Amino acid sequence: MSDPKIIVALDYPGAAPALALAHRLSPELCRLKVGKELFTATGPALLEKLMKSGFEIFLDLKFHDIPNTTAQACKAAASLGVWMINVHALGGRKMLEAAQLAVSTCAQPPKLIAVTLLTSMNQQDISDLGINATPGEMVLRLAKLAQDSGLDGVVCSAMETALLRRHCGSKFSLVTPGIRPLEASLDDQSRVMTPEEALMAGSSYLVIGRPITRAVDPLQALLDINSQIRGL
Ligand SMILES: O=C(O)c1cc(=O)[nH]c(=O)n1[C@@H]1O[C@H](COP(=O)(O)O)[C@@H](O)[C@H]1O
């Protein structure tokens, strides 16, 4: 099976627009991400439809709770047959280890990754939290914590991928949102890179939403990005 690098974020309020977009794309070209908005509106039924069409799904619910609650939520998410799920690294070591253990006991364990520092956040946002670190320092610390806890990878900005590749090795998955082709609007993202820059820096997968979903021709936008990154 092909291993498409692009994960298209289906950030929609309901099933109809999400399915309409999925029908225009194809599993050879991309994976799909279902996040909080869409999953809250549609529940697992939509995942089944998308998976029946052959798409691998990143279920992005960013669990962050006490260890037992997070572990049980991860178990429930893993039982849906998705390709990847995530938690927040800020939940700490005990939560991460509990999540990893819960997922590892599933029949078909999905990849489990941890969100480090949201790509919408910048130095000022970190200072506002009372944390005395640069984005790079904070992301590296959280990525090492996730790796030590047995997770498969992290969500980070592509601006940190070169640093994480050096410290976490080549097998650790680096999933990077905040991807913006040249001339695309930043929207609410802060730490962004182009698709080529992100892959050259060491990203494993690129999460891309609005630059594709809000394009006049989403399939063409996806094909354009895939042709820019071919061979990287
Ligand atoms: O976990 C994520 O996927 C995620 C983490 C992060 O730090 N930043 C981030 O943007 N995301 C998600 O990635 C997608 C980015 O969408 P666009 O900004 O439209 O490309 C959204 O669905 C976000 O929820």
Q: Tens-digit pLDDT profile for the chain (232 aa)? A: 579 999 999 999 999 999 999 999 999 999 999 999 999 999 999 999 999 999 999 999 999 999 999 999 999 999 999 999 999 999 999 999 999 999 999 999 999 999 999 999 999 999 999 999 999 999 999 999 999 999 999 999 999 999 999 999 999 999 999 999 998 999 999 999 999 999 999 999 999 999 999 999 999 999 999 999 998 8
- For ligand 1, atom 24, the nearest C-alpha belongs to 35
In CATH terms, the fold of domain 6-229 is: TIM Barrel (3.20.20)
Work out the number of other CB atoms within 10 angstroms of the CB of residue 188.
Answer: 10
- For ligand 1, atom 6, the nearest C-alpha belongs to 118
Q: Is 33 annotated as a binding residue?
A: yes
Q: How far is the CA of 122 from the centre of ligand 1 (A)?
A: 15
Q: Is the complex ipTM higher than 0.95? A: yes
Domain boundaries, the chain: 6-229
**9: CB partners within 8 A, 6+ apart:** 33, 35, 60, 177, 207, 208, 209, 210, 213
State which of 36, 62, 119 you would mutate to test the pocket of ligand 1, scoring each by most atoms of that ligand within 8 A of its C-beta.
119
Instruction: Decide: 195 in ligand 1 pocket, CB within 6 A.
Output: no
